[in-house]
């Protein structure tokens, strides 16, 4: 990943061998977070939310189907925090699905010594789950979340990432149903208007009236 010294330990053996790692077509890539290995500084719920967000970006750009499961036995990707090399170094390591099988379990390990926060973790998991669906590291000099070195400015897969993900998982679903537009209600209050009222005894009372009306607009 591009901001040294943070990086990913994954070695591009499949790329060197000239083959493409990917899950069989139609595979639901399930994942499980080991609750016993949550990093310091984040609660389990904060960790789970950040990991879910990092993984959830990929189905937005390709045909990946991914889902969290509550049992480690059901997971194709087992996520945990483990010692790797201490702080300010390797952030994670993830196995690639090079077997071409849908009934195997791979691991994603994140360094438990790093000073994780939610955004940091989300970006790193986005990168590591790219490996989990078969992506190698981007070529040196390419702007991509799958670059070897961490780049905190990248919150979303870049063109290289999207192209490689779609080679393995197909394009993102098209023609998603659009929610029906909801009417927009608005209340308008006009400036106050003084009104003089003549009483029976000849005196005058001044009332201040504030006109208000409401309307609804349906956007097409």
How does DSSP assign 10-32, residue by residue? ---HHHHTT----PPTT-EEEEE
**Can you list the residues of the chain whose pLDDT is less than 70?**
1-18, 175-190, 195, 205-220
Domain residue spans of the chain:
7-169, 184-217
pLDDT score recorded for residue 13? 52
Q: What is the CA radius of gyration of the chain?
A: 27
Q: How many CA atoms lie within 13 A of 76 on its CB side?
A: 24
pLDDT score recorded for residue 163? 97
pLDDT score recorded for residue 184? 47
DSSP class of residue 180? P
CATH number for region 7-169: 3.40.390.10
């Amino acid at each position: 990943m591009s901001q040294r010294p943070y990086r990913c330990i994954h070695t591009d053996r499949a790329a060197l061998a000239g083959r493409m790692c990917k899950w069989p077509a139609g595979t639901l890539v399930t994942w499980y977070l080991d609750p016993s290995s949550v990093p310091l500084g984040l609660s389990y719920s904060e960790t789970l939310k950040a990991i879910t967000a990092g993984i959830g970006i990929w189905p937005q750009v390709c045909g990946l189907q991914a889902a969290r499961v509550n049992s480690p036995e059901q997971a194709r990707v087992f996520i945990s925090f483990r010692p790797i090399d201490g702080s300010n170094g390797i952030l994670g390591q993830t196995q690639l699905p090079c077997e071409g099988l849908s009934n195997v379990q791979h691991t994603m390990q994140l360094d438990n010594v790093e000073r994780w926060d939610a955004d940091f973790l989300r970006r790193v998991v986005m990168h590591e789950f790219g490996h989990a669906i078969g992506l190698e590291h981007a070529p040196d000099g390419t702007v991509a979340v799958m670059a070897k070195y961490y780049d905190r400015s990248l919150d979303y897969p870049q063109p290289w990432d999207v192209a490689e993900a779609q080679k393995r998982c197909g394009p993102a679903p098209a023609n998603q149903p659009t929610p029906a537009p909801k009417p927009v209600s608005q209340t308008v209050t006009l400036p106050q208007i003084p009104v003089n009222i003549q009483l029976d005894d000849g005196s005058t009372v001044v009332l201040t009236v504030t006109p208000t009306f409401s309307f609804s607009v349906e956007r097409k």
